[in-house]
Amino acid sequence: MTSTSAVFSALAPYGWDESWADAFAPHAADGLLPGRVIRVDRGQCDVATADGIVRADTEFVVPRDPMKAVCTGDWVAVDPDGDPRYVRTYLPRRTAFVRSTSSKRSEGQILAANVDHAVVAVSLAVELDLGRVERFLALAWESGAQPVVVLTKADLVPDPVTLAHLVQDVETSAPGVPVLTVSALHGEGLDVLVALVGSGTSVLLGQSGAGKSTLANALVGADVMDVRAARDVDGKGRHTTTTRNLLALPSGGVLIDTPGLRGVGLFDAEAGVGQVFSEIEELAERCRFHDCAHESEPGCAVRSAVEDGELPVRRLESYRKLVRENQWIVAKTDARVRAEIKKDWKRKGAEGRAAMEAKRGRRM
């Protein structure tokens, strides 16, 4: 049996602490070994244990609900020996980064578990897509992690005034979120990021071509991730990272690198959306009607802020889009929400018809 001190010595670089040890105690009593999943691939996973990296089968943890499948970042209980070895269960997750599946079904897909920081990588080699940044941030806030936006390839924007404007645009779209500029190629800005991810677990997110693998290599201090050049035409890259990989950082902390995400669907992320658009949520509290849709209702504080130039039109449009999308995915699994949305549609339809009738009456 591996000693407690040996377990702590081997797993501390992966985030093991007294709290995880206490949660694992019942499984230790059953003779199982603790470990952290560093990679999942086709029903098997690589697990960091006190015995080193072991390959284990997830056959005993294959639920119907994909939200309960083993994923990178999980702390698991592994058979002490055997060929093959098996993951018997995983410890309750502190946080989970979840998106909706690309199949458009009412299912979520866990990208990473037990994450403290969500690092959203955004390339400065192409035009900023602020709507996509807001989408990533909504998922990050909903997960329970603290998001940070990293603007990569800053060396491609040599003009400091232009760079300052780009940073300001992102800061406006990311209230309460640190925004860093980094050039992994030249090492600029990395010291701040290293300090930020130096404790806990961070997940690296972003589109293909955002420079995530280059950033991961810079943080690890070695070429552990394959890197390919992005296309000049649109800045997009190939999926150099095809699985989620957990890496222990030499300066402390743990990093989970993820494949480039083309589709980032919300999954029951109401609180996350509200956090990203906190200024709109605060303005909405001053609206005349508590269920104001911020469209044509009288006394709408949100639309007044837009008219006064206090709130950018793009922010309101992005907010509406994400709210509608989130309502749609929630409604697929909640009959009560579906009924409320249908009732709201009928109400708005009746109001629209009444407005048209009144307009016609004035013309007669």
What one-character DSSP code corresponds to residue 272? H
Q: Within 10 Å of residue 212's Cβ, how many Cβ atoms?
A: 30
Question: What is the C-alpha to C-alpha distance for residues 35 and 1, in angstroms, rounded to an integer?
Answer: 14
The confidence score (pLDDT) of residue 341 equals: 46
Cβ–Cβ < 8 Å for 175, 141:
no
Instruction: Provide the pLDDT for residue 223.
Output: 66
Which tokens go with 86? 């098996």
Closest CA to 281 of 175, 189, 201, 129: 175
What is the rounded distance in angstroms from the CA atom of residue 272 to the CA atom of residue 2? 41
- At residue 179, the pLDDT reads 96
Query: Which stretches of the chain score pLDDT less than 70?
Result: 1-2, 63-64, 101-107, 223-243, 260-265, 331-364
Which helix or strand (DSSP H or E) is residue 352 part of? Answer: helix 335-363
Structure tokens at 196: 């930020």
The helix/strand/coil state of 136 is helix
* DSSP assignment letter at 225: S
| Site of tokens 């602490």 | 17
* Confidence (pLDDT) at 239: 41
Rg (CA), the chain: 24
Tokens 């999926």 belong to: 239
Q: Which pLDDT value is given to residue 190?
A: 92
The partner residues of 44 in beta bridges, in order of sequence, read: 41, 57
With 0.95 as the threshold, say if the pTM is over it. Answer: no
Nearest to 183 by CA among 175, 173, 193: 193
